[in-house]
Amino acid sequence: MHSNRSDFRSLTQEIERRVRWSPEYIEADRKLMWRPEFVKLLYTYLDIRPKMHVADIGSGTGFLARIVAPGIGRMGDIICIDHDTRLLARGVKATRKERFSKNLHMVQANAYNCPLPTSWADLVMCQFLLSNVKHPLSIIREMARVTKRRGLVAAVEPVGIQILFDPSHVRLTELQRKSWNAYVRGYRKLLGGDITIGLRLPHLFMEAGLSKVELDGYLETLLFSDPRYQGRDLATFLRTRFFERPSKRTKTKIASMIKDLTYSCGGMSPNEALRIQGKLADRLKPLVENTRSLKRSSFVFSVARVIVRGRKQ
Ligand SMILES: C[S@@+](CC[C@H](N)C(=O)[O-])C[C@H]1O[C@@H](n2cnc3c(N)ncnc32)[C@H](O)[C@@H]1O
C-alpha cells in the first residue's frame, strides 16, 4: 500500500516535470481573449500608470506583460518569470521589434521563489498560473512579498466553465461537459491543480494578508461569425486547441499519455474521452480547413474567467 502511494507520488512528480504549454496555443488563445475593449478594462482594474514596476509571474510567452508594457512606458519596468525556457524564448522573439523591448525582461525562475527584491513592484500579476499549481496560496504570498506597500497583486484565472457550443449538435455540448468535468477532477487528483480556482481566489488573497480585494468576471464569447474576429486567428486557435498534430515525437506521445491519465483519474476512460474529442474534431475540421465556412458558422467557444486583485497593507 505504502509503496503504491509513493509510486503514484513519483509518477505525478515526473508528469509535473513534463507538463509543457505550447507557445503556439498560448499566443493564439490570448490574442482572441484580449480584445481592445477588454484591454481598457484591464488597465483600469490593474491601475496601470507610467513608470510602474511590474512582475508577471508564470508569464509563459509574456502575452499579458506585452499588453501592459505600453501603459507603463519607457520609464517603467516589467519582469516576466517562468520556469519554461522555451516559452520565454518565444516571448523574447515576440518583443524584439516592440518599442518597449528594453523595459521588458524575461527571467527563468520558480514562481515559489522569485529572484526579485521584497517590496520592489507596484503590481505583481499572473494569468492562468494559480489554476495550474499545487500550492496557489504559497505563490500568492510570494507575489505579495515582491509587492510594495499599497501595491497591487492581481490574477486572471478560470472558474471552470468552458464549452464549444455547436448549435446543430446540442448532444455534443452535453458530452463535452461530461468529459470536461472528468478532466477537471483528474487534473486535481493527478497534478494537484484546480482549473476551477477563480471563485476561491478572494479567500486565498485574504488568507495571504491582502486587503481591499476586488473580483470581476469576464465571460469570453467567441462567436465564429462575429466580424471582430479574423478567420485566420480563429483557425489557428482551433488548430492548436482541438487538434493534436499526429506525430511520433516523444513529446507529443507523452502529452497524450498525460491526457489519458488525467481522464482516467477523473473517472472517464481514455477511449470515451477520445471518442468525444473525435466527434468534436469531425465537426470542426471542415471549418478549420475552409475559413469562409468558419466565418459563416454560428459555433460559440465560451470560457468564464475572473480578474481578482488585492492591496498589500
Ligand atoms: C497556462 S500557462 C500561462 C502562461 C501565461 N501566464 C499566459 O497566460 O499566457 C502556465 C504557465 O505557468 C508556468 N509555471 C507553472 N508552474 C510554475 C512555477 N512553479 N514556476 C514558474 N513558472 C511556472 C508554466 O511554465 C506556464 O508558462
CA Rg value for the chain: 20
CATH number of the structural domain spanning residue 307 = 3.40.50.150
The sign one gets for the Cα dihedral 196, 200, 204, 206 is: positive
Q: Which atom of ligand 1 is nearest to the CA of 156?
A: 8
**Window from 4-13, 81-90, 123-132, 238-247 with minimum mean pLDDT:** 4-13
- Return the beta strands (E) in 99-245 as ranges: 104-108, 121-127, 147-165, 210-223
Confidence band, pLDDT 50/70/90 cuts, at residue 251: low
C-alpha 78/C-alpha 34 separation (Å) is 19
Flag whether pLDDT at 1 surpasses 70: no
pLDDT of residue 252: 67
Q: Which atom of ligand 1 is nearest to the CA of 110?
A: 20
Query: Which of 20, 31, 79, 82 for a ligand 1 pocket mutation test, highest count of atoms within 8 Å of Cβ?
Result: 82
What would the pLDDT profile of 125-179 be if each residue is shown by its tens digit? 999 999 999 999 999 999 999 999 999 999 999 999 999 999 999 899 999 999 9
C-beta of residue 153 within 8 angstroms of C-beta of residue 312:
yes
What would the pLDDT profile of 44-98 be if each residue is shown by its tens digit? 999 999 999 999 999 999 999 999 999 999 999 999 999 999 999 999 999 987 8
- Atom 13 in ligand 1: residue holding the nearest Cα: 58
Task: Give the pTM.
Answer: 0.92
Distance from residue 260's CA to the centre of ligand 1 (Å): 22
Interaxial angle between packed helices 63-72 and 36-46, expressed in degrees from 0 to 180 and rounded to the nearest 10: 70
* Enclosing domain of residue 155: 2-312
Q: Which atom of ligand 1 is nearest to the CA of 131?
A: 1
pLDDT of residue 101: 85
What would the pLDDT profile of 269-284 be if each residue is shown by its tens digit? 999 999 999 999 999 9
pLDDT of residue 263: 94
Mean pLDDT of 24-49: 96
Flag whether pLDDT at 17 surpasses 70: no
> How long is the chain?
313
* Other beta carbons within 10 Å of 70: 14
C-alpha 52/C-alpha 43 separation (Å) is 12
What would the pLDDT profile of 185-199 be if each residue is shown by its tens digit? 999 998 899 999 999
In the sheet with 300-312, reading across from the earlier edge strand, the strands are 104-108, 77-82, 53-57, 121-127, 147-165, 300-312, 210-223
pLDDT of residue 140: 98
Q: Which atom of ligand 1 is nearest to the CA of 112?
A: 19
Distance from residue 71's CA to the centre of ligand 1 (Å): 23
**Count of domains forming the chain:** 1
